[in-house]
Structure 1
Amino acid sequence: MSVVSTGAELPGDPIDNATLERLCGPLPDDVLAGIEVQRRHWIVDPETGAHRTGTAEMATAAARQALQRAGMAASEVELLVTSTASPDYPLPVVGTYVQQHLGLERCAVVEVRAGCVGAVQAMDYARRLLADGTYRTALVIGAESISPLLADVYLGGDPMAVRMRDRLTVYTFGDGAGAAVLRAGEEAPDSSPPASVFATQCLGGTRKPGMLVVGGGTDAPLAAQQQRRRLMDIRLDITGTAAFGPKVFVSGLKDMLDRSGLALEDIDACVLPEGNAEYFSREFEEAGLSAQDHATLQKSIVENLADVGATGSAAVPLALDAGWTSGRITPGDTVLLLAIEASRYLYAGLTLTWEAPTPARA
């Protein structure tokens, strides 16, 4: 399996921290430095909350860019795998709307409902169906629209009345979509780099969620949900994720190294949703990653958190696209995609040998 190309879509103009400070109040300097997000993109107008695009439209735009870079027509796509936790509708799934927008009358469509780990899981699912000959060409997309929940926190109110934990959520998240075109390839000889290896686990089966999106589900009667302070809400366990998140990351990293037979020194690009964030990388040594290994890992990290924020299912494909188009990821590189997700403390990892030549700059 080869990744032929990638694509990305970020809605609207970037929203800087000064804009959010005016709308929902400031964060302490140390907290703002800790999350490291300097700008993000939203599908909503931050001033009014009006929607300017949606999850399926962003996914389609990212897909079109990936197909254009691959020099492929949409009609060549046989398998479409999408991941999102914020679909336009509960049903039909986002992937079917992408199919519609691309003009595909018939196409295999599968959707993963997840956050950060979803795109990695989706890519592995597609990889397996390409490897066994079921399909030859696949399009994998991760897309997320979180801003409608964020704007609702502050619209129509006094910015200084917004609770600090809600401000942290508003500053942290962004919207976007990333896509990748995958093609089945010839079986590699024994002397070639190791084949792709995948691993995923949920480590939070006995823990309360690190992140919970409440509303719009079946946890309570609709009439009861409508009586809540907000119809939908994001709830973060900030203390829990800071303490347990590094353990999940280190567990995922060790699992991937064990399964692939790779050493940290062998990884040319480790693509993460938020690899350099201070709140994410603290306490790694306590979690089992030595200071030396941490330093080695830092040399290979590819991420773009400062520019896009935490974008859920879109995070890894957006970082992958940024790494490839900037020339950070080049042919022959051993690439590790590794995502962790706070919702129930999951990780998903996939190794790749990169083949796509760096695209020409626009």
Structure 2
Amino acid sequence: MIKSARIVSTGSYLPGEPLTNETLESILGPLSPELLEQVQVERRHWLVNPITGEYHETNSDMAAKAAKQALELANIDPNDVDLLVLSTASPDYPLPPMVTLVQEKLGLRRCATLEVRSGCCGTVEALDVARLYLERGIYQTAIVIGSEAISPLLAPQFLGKDPSSLRARDRLNIYSFGDGAAAMVLTATEDEPGFVGSAMACVGGNKKPGMIIPGGGTNALLTTLDQKKACLMELKVDFTNSGKFTPHVLNEALVDVLKRSSTTAESIDLCFLPEGNAGYLRSEIEHSHLQTSEWVVLGDKIFENLSLVSNTGSAAVPLALDYAWKTGKLKSGDRIMLLAIETSKWLYAGIVLDWSAEPCAANNWN
């Protein structure tokens, strides 16, 4: 018997105290008003101390803390979890998979695990995989986690350096990203609304990556080059091409998700477009002459919390969802769309689902 999968709770974790733009300016130097407006970030959280370079915790620590909070809010014992799916682009190690480290920190001796190595799209893909397992009746309770530790890739760019030596594009990168984790608890049911439809694709098969973390892999050329540098891993972002091509990816994503979900923009109550897409990218869509009637309908329904957390890769979608649920903006009965795009190789992933979780008892956020 085909079951339905539903999200019953979410949880989140942000490391340390928030770093404001003013704090970063005192450490890195200022970002021009034009670039600061493009970034759209007011604060971010790092697990790396920006002054000393000391690590507070690890990516798997953050992921486990977010998962534990989600389980507590769902009133579910960790031992009831039989599927754990995690997405990250910044794992603790290449091996073992970070999801297995999170399993250990949750105290689970045995559990089905799966890790998606991706950025912004990864958690939506992970959520889609988890719900399919639950709908088929193979597993009963799942946790889906998106977690990123990006500050370790940023800190070497400025630690011990004269702020005046930093290029504007380096500052733009550092101001844009943060760390964090968020989790979703899913259960299989036979009488609750659940997932309506989904879509995912890579549409950059003939394009250069818009984002890359070149160190730490097995590519011989990159490994040779990285060994000559003090920093073995870093984050490189092509902001110029991202601005040009991302609106096209986002538009293709919206059309595909609505079609595969057999639904319309009018039926959507909240559309989660994390990482600033709600402002900057909608403007780019209009400038690219891609503004469709669907985007007009969704205009006031788009939700994100970029200014509070910054760009957080895999954590972006679940952090926005967690924020909406805990602050009462997301209500039982709402039909929502999770729509994520990723410039690494120009991916998108989207899901439409009917939200049925009860209001969050915590009624607050971080």
Cross-structure match for 1:272? 273
Cross-structure match for 1:300? 301
List per-residue Cα deviations over 1:73-94 (Å, max 9, x = no partner): 1000000000001111111111
Cross-structure match for 2:220? 220
* 1:236 CA drift (Å): 1.2
Kept in 2: contact 1:274–1:280 (CA 8 A): no
Determine which of 103, 106, 125 is the counterpart of 1:102. Answer: 106
Match of 1:79, as an amino acid? Answer: L
* 1:277 CA drift (Å): 5.6
Q: Using the TM superposition, name which of 272-281 and 293-302 deviates more.
A: 272-281
Distance across 1 between alignment mates of 2:278 and 2:22: 20
Q: Which runs of 5+ in 2 are unaligned?
A: none
Distance across 2 between alignment mates of 1:330 and 1:38: 27
Kept in 2: contact 1:120–1:316 (CA 8 A): yes
Cross-structure match for 2:17? 13
Distance across 2 between alignment mates of 1:240 and 1:277: 19
RMSD of Structure 2 on Structure 1 (CA):
1.7
Structure 1 residues 11, 139: closer, same or farther in 2, change over 3 A?
same
Cross-structure match for 1:38? 42
Match of 2:56, as an amino acid? Answer: R
List per-residue Cα deviations over 1:230-289 (Å, max 9, x = no partner): 322211111100000011011101111111222212111111222446442233135564
Partner SS for 1:142: strand
Distance across 2 between alignment mates of 1:139 and 1:60: 10
Distance across 1 between alignment mates of 2:307 and 2:233: 26
Distance across 1 between alignment mates of 2:187 and 2:289: 37
Distance across 2 between alignment mates of 1:194 and 1:286: 36
Cross-structure match for 1:197? 197
Determine which of 71, 76, 80 is the counterpart of 1:72. Answer: 76
List per-residue Cα deviations over 1:148-183 (Å, max 9, x = no partner): 111111110111110111110000001000100001
Kept in 2: contact 1:10–1:175 (CA 8 A): yes
Cross-structure match for 1:172? 176
Cross-structure match for 2:31? 27
Q: Which runs of 5+ in 1 are unaligned?
A: none
Q: Using the TM superposition, name which of 276-285 and 294-303 deviates more.
A: 276-285
Distance across 1 between alignment mates of 2:122 and 2:228: 31
Partner SS for 1:197: strand
Kept in 2: contact 1:3–1:182 (CA 8 A): yes
Kept in 2: contact 1:36–1:277 (CA 8 A): no
Match of 2:52, as an amino acid? Answer: T
Structure 1 residue 209 corresponds to structure 2 residue 209 = yes
Q: How does 1:132-151 map to 2 (within 5 A)?
A: 132-151=136-155
After TM superposition, the score normalised by the length of structure 1 is 0.95
Distance across 1 between alignment mates of 2:331 and 2:232: 45
Structure 1 residues 241, 223: closer, same or farther in 2, change over 3 A?
closer
Partner SS for 2:15: coil
Distance across 2 between alignment mates of 1:274 and 1:336: 15
Distance across 1 between alignment mates of 2:287 and 2:173: 26
Q: Using the TM superposition, name which of 79-88 and 276-285 deviates more.
A: 276-285
Partner SS for 1:274: coil
* 1:314 CA drift (Å): 0.5
Q: How does 1:183-332 map to 2 (within 5 A)?
A: 183-186=187-190, 195-220=195-220, 222=223, 224-228=225-229, 230-276=231-277, 278-285=279-286, 287=288, 289-290=290-291, 293-332=294-333
Structure 1 residues 194, 47: closer, same or farther in 2, change over 3 A?
closer
Cross-structure match for 2:97? 93
Distance across 1 between alignment mates of 2:40 and 2:278: 6
Kept in 2: contact 1:10–1:41 (CA 8 A): yes
Match of 1:323, as an amino acid? Answer: A
Partner SS for 1:215: coil
Kept in 2: contact 1:34–1:277 (CA 8 A): no
Distance across 1 between alignment mates of 2:64 and 2:181: 9
List per-residue Cα deviations over 1:171-204 (Å, max 9, x = no partner): 000100010000111167xxxx785211101111
Match of 1:197, as an amino acid? Answer: G
Match of 2:19, as an amino acid? Answer: I
Q: Using the TM superposition, name which of 224-233 and 133-142 deviates more.
A: 224-233
Match of 1:12, as an amino acid? Answer: G
Match of 1:296, as an amino acid? Answer: V
Distance across 2 between alignment mates of 1:194 and 1:259: 15
Partner SS for 2:23: helix
- Identity, % of aligned positions: 50
Structure 1 residues 324, 289: closer, same or farther in 2, change over 3 A?
farther
List per-residue Cα deviations over 1:45-87 (Å, max 9, x = no partner): 1111111011100000000000000001100000000000111
